[in-house]
Chains A and B, each alone.
Chain A
Amino acid sequence: MTKLYKVLPFLLFLTALLIWEAAARSGLWSKLLFPSLGSIAYEFGMFLVTPERLHEAWVSLYRALGGFALAAVVGIFVGMLMGRSKLVAGLLDPLFSGTYAVPKLALFPIFIFLFGIGSLSKVALVFLECLYPIVIMSYHGARSVNRVLLWSAQNMGASRGATLRRVVIPASAPFIFAGFRVAVPVAMIVVVITEMVSSADGLGYLVIYSLSSLRTDRMLAVVVAIALLGYLLDKAVVLARDRLIYWEKLDTYYV
């Protein structure tokens, strides 16, 4: 029984792969619809050793991380400001919560005219989409700082800057990381979408390009690469959180 429990997580994955391979070999569908696992693995291997394709991955990564880093800096700053000042919160909170459900992606065509069709319009859109979760979670974190901690810091003569650095930011760090956790996949989504819609480089472009040239196996290899990148970026955030916020162990996956 316990042995069965250990293999259960892999069971689904293996079955999916088997079904795929069976579909590929059955000959019922064209190789275009279900390329065999071998050809996808071969294309993925080619992906890893071809400098041009690795460069596309680097382009996507740098757009995603650039926009994310900008959003992190601005988002934490704005979130802290909203958490510590009633006035700022009153002015900005309706702005953020009102436009939260609006797809910012719709601004992309306008961003193309504003910032050009290069990286800048994509980085700007990643920044805008990532800003929301980070601002909202930082604001939430800064608001929920234990009041006793603030009072004792003030009592012991901490300046405003010291209070912010030593009390408010560490206390809201778990929330900030929860925001990061939401924002990183969003950054990947936006980069891939914008590259699919309008671009001449990046992984999203490679997907569309492989599809147009009817190389489904190559396209799926790129999809695997994107999936892997998204997974690794998420793991990196979790790793950073566990190192930096070692005092708060989180056993849930999702906060």
Chain B
Amino acid sequence: MGLARAGFFLSLLLLWQLLSLRGLPAYVLSPLEIIRHFGEALGSAELYEHAWASLGRSLPGFAIGTFFGALLGLAAGMARWFDRLFSPAVFVTYPVPKIVMLPIFMLWFGIGDLSKVLIIALACFYPVFINAYYGVKATPAILVWSALNMGAGHGAIFRRVVLPSAAPMIFAGMRVSLALSFIVMFAAEMINARSGLGHLIRVAENSLRFDLMYVSLLAVAILGFAGDRLVRFAQRRLLAWQEQPA
């Protein structure tokens, strides 16, 4: 299977490369050209600066959104009055594209990084909130009963029963949030920024620098992929006692 898989991908790349020999339009580079340009970009400081600026927006946004999502989601799952007060607002606004708030945030918080970090945080809040909420709701009642029976207090039940039981769901929400944070970061930078990978791809587009376009595309892809692997790694380490989903 592994061999067939490797062969499949290699033949796809080979086909792409062979097609470029026959002549592709200027905006489609061959795999070898992309790798060459990416290697060159890795040698210069420009790519790192833009990648760093992008991470400086997406990671704080992700951290803030995830933190409040988990906190309020757990609270809504546990306290009925808070559930009634807060959850309907979240569920009603969940299918709304949060990026439309960016222009308003730009008016309120300026066109700098703050408005972008906050819009990313807002987008990241939702998946984690909803997953934490249902994670708490899905805690088997029998576990809570036995803990109560054995004399556990409220704090102990939360720490030792509810939180571990909701943790896999929270991590699933974090994976969705991380992917979202990169999308929103990229969108915000394409709409309005002076640095970052989204800005770089706009510059490349406007000056017809196709090599630069593919370099920033590849850089975003690598960051997204690496971030996803990191969350999965953290989940495996922290929740080693749990059955891992395939």
Contacts and interface: CB of A to CB of B under 8 A. Distances in A.
Interface of A: 5, 8-9, 11-13, 32-33, 87, 90-91, 94-95, 98-103, 105-110, 112-114, 184-185, 188-189, 192-193, 196-197, 204, 207-208, 211, 216, 219-220, 222-223, 226-227, 230-231, 233-234, 252-254
B64 interface: no
B182 interface: yes
A101 B227 contact: yes
A208 to B, nearest CB: 7
Contact of A227 (B5, B89, B93, B224): B93
Interface in B82-124: 84-89, 91-104, 106-108
Given A90-B4, A95-B9, A207-B103, 5 more contacts: A9-B89, A11-B85, A185-B96, A196-B187, A252-B137
A8 B81 contact: yes
Nearest to A143: B246
A63 B216 CA distance: 26
B175 interface: yes
B201 interface: yes
B84 A9 contact: yes
The 3 closest A-B pairs by CB, nearest first: A101-B228, A234-B95, A9-B88
A111 to B, nearest CB: 10
B96 A219 contact: no
Interface in B181-214: 182-183, 186-187, 190-191, 197-198, 201-202, 204-205, 213
A94 B81 CA distance: 44
Nearest to A228: B96
A141 B182 CA distance: 28
Contacts of B190: 105, 108, 193, 197
Main secondary structure of the interface of A (DSSP, over half): helix
B5 A196 contact: no
Contact of B101 (A98, A101, A223, A254): A223
B27 interface: yes
Contact of A114 (B27, B201, B204): B27
B182 A103 contact: yes
Residue from A110, A114, A226, A231 with most neighbouring chain B CB atoms (10 Å): A110
B136 interface: no
Contacts of B8: 91
A105 B134 CA distance: 30
A215 to B, nearest CB: 11
Interface of B: 1, 4-5, 8-9, 25, 27-28, 81, 84-89, 91-104, 106-108, 130-131, 134, 137, 175, 178-179, 182-183, 186-187, 190-191, 197-198, 201-202, 204-205, 213, 216-217, 220-221, 224-225, 227-228
A109 B213 contact: yes
A192 B225 CA distance: 25
B100 A227 contact: yes
B204 A5 contact: no
A32 B191 CA distance: 20
B179 A192 contact: no
Contacts of B103: 207-208, 211, 219
Contacts of B25: 113
For A8, A101, A184, A211, which residue has the most chain B Cβ atoms within 10 angstroms? A101
30 contacts: A5-B84, A8-B81, A9-B85, A12-B88, A32-B107, A87-B4, A90-B1, A90-B5, A101-B178, A101-B228, A109-B213, A110-B28, A113-B25, A114-B27, A184-B95, A193-B99, A197-B190, A207-B100, A208-B191, A211-B106, A211-B107, A216-B104, A216-B107, A223-B104, A226-B96, A227-B93, A230-B96, A230-B97, A231-B92, A233-B95
Contacts of A207: 100, 103
Contacts of A254: 130-131, 134
A196 B97 CA distance: 12
A106 B51 CA distance: 14
Contacts of A208: 103, 191
Contacts of A227: 93, 96, 100
A28 to B, nearest CB: 13
A103 B100 contact: no
Nearest to A8: B84
B175 to A, nearest CB: 7
